[in-house]
């Protein structure tokens, strides 16, 4: 018996990085998973990812988290095909790596639209069916950027607000059997971090050296954290922000 046998999960941006790690962990524990990607340009990448997973366990759908109608349509499809939706992982996000001087309004609006409004849109789409089930689980991928204050302002602002949004969900929807938690990853070996390590804006290697555990982990550590929060192992945990950073933000 897997920890997620019979359950249906939706992971936004689940074809790569931390999202893909969540999907792999969920499928290994028995879940059926849906992933969405925003444009046709990501279709090939999503298809290749699906091929790496046990046949029929992952379904990739083109749908943009910033479009409320597309999110409603995707949830309707999941319910039509799988009859239920138990888990939502809000993983899709952008981080344009701009300084205050380089950050213009268009870049700010894009980051907030994807990282925060997109999460709001996805949550709105799943809350009604989860209430009908009297059961549901929302996991929002935040960031330690909310605590250390280094990086670009739009990303920090979006992830800080996401933690507050998570607490609001937990308080309001706990009575319907819906739990909401956040994960704040530190530096992991993802494409976003590899870009940061090669860029001039922030020296990501500085953070790795400052991490008490002293290494750069693979994304599966976030997948395992998401599995814990999405499973009954954490049945009495809601409104929590789980920091997975190797001790970097220890005070």
DSSP assignment of the chain: --TTTT-EEEEETTTSHHHHHHHHHHHHTT-EEEEEESSGGGHHHHHHHHHTS-TTSEEEEE--TT-HHHHHHHHHHHHHHHS---EEEE---------TTT--HHHHHHHHIIIIIHHHHHHHHHHHHHHHHT-EEEEEE--THHHH--S-HHHHHHHHHHHHHHHHHHHHHGGGTEEEEEEEE---SSHHHHHHHHSSS--HHHHHHHSTT-S---THHHHHHHHHHHSGGGTT--S-EEEESTTTT--
The single residue of 34, 37, 155, 173 carrying the catalytic annotation is 155
**Polymer length of the chain:** 251
Closest C-alpha to 202, from 148, 143, 149, 151? 151
Q: Tell me whether residue 37 is one of the annotated catalytic residues.
A: no
The 10 Å CB-count burial string (b at 16+, else e) for 117-138 is bbbbbbbebbbebbeeeeebbb
List residues with catalytic annotation: 155
């Amino acid at each position: 018996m897997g920890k997620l046998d019979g359950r249906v999960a939706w992971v936004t941006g689940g074809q790569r990085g931390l999202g893909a790690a969540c999907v792999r962990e969920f499928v290994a524990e028995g879940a059926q998973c849906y992933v969405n990607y925003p444009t046709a340009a990501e279709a090939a990448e999503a298809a290749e990812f699906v091929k790496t997973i046990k046949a029929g366990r992952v379904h990739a759908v083109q749908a943009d988290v910033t479009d409320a109608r597309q999110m409603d349509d995707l949830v309707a499809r999941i319910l039509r095909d799988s009859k239920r939706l138990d888990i939502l992982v809000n993983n899709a996000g952008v981080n344009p790596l701009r300084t205050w001087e380089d950050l213009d309004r268009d870049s700010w609006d894009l980051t907030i639209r994807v990282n925060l409004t997109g999460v709001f849109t996805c949550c709105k789409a799943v809350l009604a069916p989860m209430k009908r089930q009297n059961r549901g689980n929302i996991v929002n991928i935040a960031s330690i950027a909310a605590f250390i204050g280094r990086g670009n302002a739009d990303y920090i602002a979006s992830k800080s607000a996401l933690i507050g949004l998570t607490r609001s969900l937990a308080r309001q929807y706990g009575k319907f059997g819906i739990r909401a938690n956040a994960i704040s990853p530190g530096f992991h070996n993802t494409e976003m971090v590899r870009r940061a390590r090669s860029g001039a804006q922030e020296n990501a290697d500085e953070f790795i050296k400052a991490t008490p555990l002293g290494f750069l982990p693979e994304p599966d550590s976030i997948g395992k954290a998401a599995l814990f929060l999405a499973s009954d192992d954490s049945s009495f945990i809601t409104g929590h922000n789980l920091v997975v950073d190797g001790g970097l933000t220890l005070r």
